[in-house]
Structure 1
Amino acid sequence: MTYITIFFQYVAQYLKTRLTYRVDMVIEIFSDILFQAVNLIFILVVFDHTEFLSGWSRDEIIFIYGFFLVPFAIFGAFFNIWDFNERYIVKGEMDRILTRPIHSLFQIILERMELESLFGIFTGLGVMFYAGSRLNLSISWYDPFVFIMMVFGGAFVYAGIFVLLASISFWSDSPTSIMPMMYNIGNYGRYPVDIYNNVIRFILTWILPFAFVGVYPSAYFLGRQEWYGYAFLTPIMGILFLSISIFMWNIGVTKYRGAGN
């Protein structure tokens, strides 16, 4: 209950701060939407030259992209830790975090919140609705609950991978470019894995399971029964990877040497 109270207090303060500079917030939201639109245009350009991509139609891939945007928006809002190494380890702000009687990762998540990223949820839902209407997809009464489960599973997969990468900084405080590289690899999860070779497909499924953010959960709603097993693994993979990353984070904190050493 204490953590919930602190969370909403941080959210309230964040909104007060952001609303003080409303124009900046609007520009950020607009730039995010523009970036997502560019990615969508890229898909449309690809399908100007072909009707199907490894058996997937244009509208199916657009649907996958729309779904991908929803868990990615949640990840971007609460796990914006791409600069963890430089800010908290190299500059020593981790010392400040560790003086407080609240879990260190929870504090960093609250400090690095970017709630405007949540507008990506509406963009994703809009893209899914557009593609779904063209595909004549039917929705059962339980599908919204499955959707929520899949979305949080995908968000946890993303969060788990990046928290795990951030944990490496406790052992090696040298600046690294692995975070930007991993963001680029994560984009592969927006497309069907069967367009890649077997090695990349294995990596995107079991090593860096970005496929569970987009294509696998989307396959359930698209009626791709051959992928249902992977689709329902999404929440399990999310919980598993996030649990492993928190475990490694807790070990890493005990190895932290401080900014003065």
Structure 2
Amino acid sequence: MFYVSMFFQYASQYLKTRLTYRIDTVIEILSDLLFQAVNLIFILIVFDHTASLGGWNREEIIFIYGFFLVPYALFSSFFNIWDFNERYIVRGEMDRVLTRPVHSLFQIIMERMELESLFGVITGLVIMGYAATELGLTFAWYDVLIFISMVLGGAFIYAGIFISIATIGFWSDSRTDIMPMMYNIGNYGRYPVNIYHKVIRFVLTWILPFAFVGVYPAAYFLNREEWYGYAFLTPVMGIVFFSISYLLWNAGVKRYRGAGN
């Protein structure tokens, strides 16, 4: 309950800050929506030249993209730590974090939250709704619970991967370009993995499991029974990768010796 209370206090302060600069907040939301629209237009352009992609039609690809946006929005809202190395290690702000009686990872997640990214959840649901209507999909009441568990699993997979990368800063305080590269690799999870080479499929499934953020869980709702096994692994993969990142983080904090000059 202590951490729940702290979350709402952080969220309240964040909203007060963002509402002070309303125009900036609106522009940022519109920029995110424009970026998502560009990705959707890209899919539409691709299907102007082909009827299917790896056995998936246009509406199915659109549904997968819409699903992907939901866990990605949660990740972008609460695990925005792409600049951890430069801000907290190189500039020494980690020293300030460690003086407080709250877990360091929780503090950094709260300090870097961007709640306006949650609008991506609405966008994703709208896109999924459109595609589901076009495909004539029907859902059972328990699909809501399955959807929530898979969305959380996908968000934790993303979080686990990027937190693990951030922990490199505890062992090496030099700036790296791994984060941007990993963001680019993560985009492959928006599309069916069977369109890639088998090596890439293996990486996207077991090494950097971005496929569990998009295509695998979405396949369940698209009634692709051959993918059900992977779909139901999504929450498990989320727990595994986030747990690994948590252990790496704690190990890194123990190694951290403070900022020097």
Is TM > 0.5 for Structure 1 vs Structure 2?
A: yes
Counterpart AA for 1:10: Y
Q: Which runs of 5+ in 1 are unaligned?
A: none
- Paired amino acid for 2:99: T
Cα distance, 1:141 vs. partner? Answer: 1.1
Deviation of 1:260 after TM superposition, in Å, equals 1.2
CA distance in 2, matches of 1:14, 1:172: 31
SS at match of 2:236: helix
2:217 corresponds in structure 1 to 217
Distance in 2 of aligned mates of 1:211 and 1:172: 29
C-alpha RMSD of matched pairs (Å)? 0.6
Secondary structure class of the residue paired with 2:167: helix
Partner of 2:18: 18
1:129-140 → structure 2 map (5 Å cutoff) = 129-140=129-140
Question: How far apart are 1:102 and its partner, in Å?
Answer: 0.6
- Could you say what secondary structure the match of 2:172 adopts? coil
Q: Secondary structure at the match of 1:56?
A: coil
**Which residue does the alignment assign to 1:32?**
32
TM-fit CA distance, 1:257: 2.1
Q: Deviations over 1:159-217 (max 9, x none)?
A: 00000000111001100000000000000000000000100000000000000000000
Which residues in structure 2 correspond to 1:231-250 (within 5 Å)?
Answer: 231-250=231-250
CA deviation after TM superposition for structure 1 residue 44, in Å = 0.3
In the TM superposition, residue 104 of structure 1 has moved relative to its aligned partner by: 0.3
Counterpart residue identity of residue 108, structure 1: I
Structure 1 counterpart of 2:51:
51
Partner Cα distance (2:249, 2:106) in 1? 11
Provide the rounded CA distance (Å) in 2 between the counterparts of 1:23 and 1:54: 43
Aligned structure 1 segments of 4 or more residues deviating by more than 2 angstroms? none
Amino acid at match of 2:42: F
User: 1:69 — aligned with what?
Assistant: 69
Write the distance in 2 (CA, Å) between the matches of 1:129 and 1:7: 31
Residue equivalent to 1:147? 147
TM-score (norm 2): 0.99
State, as a whole percentage, how many aligned pairs show the same letter. Answer: 75
The amino acid of 1:217's aligned partner reads P
The one-letter amino acid of 2:24's match is: D
AA in 1 matched with 2:36: Q
Gaps of 5+ in 2: none
Kindly tell me the number of residue pairs found equivalent between the two proteins. 261
Scaled by the length of structure 1, what TM-score is found? 0.99
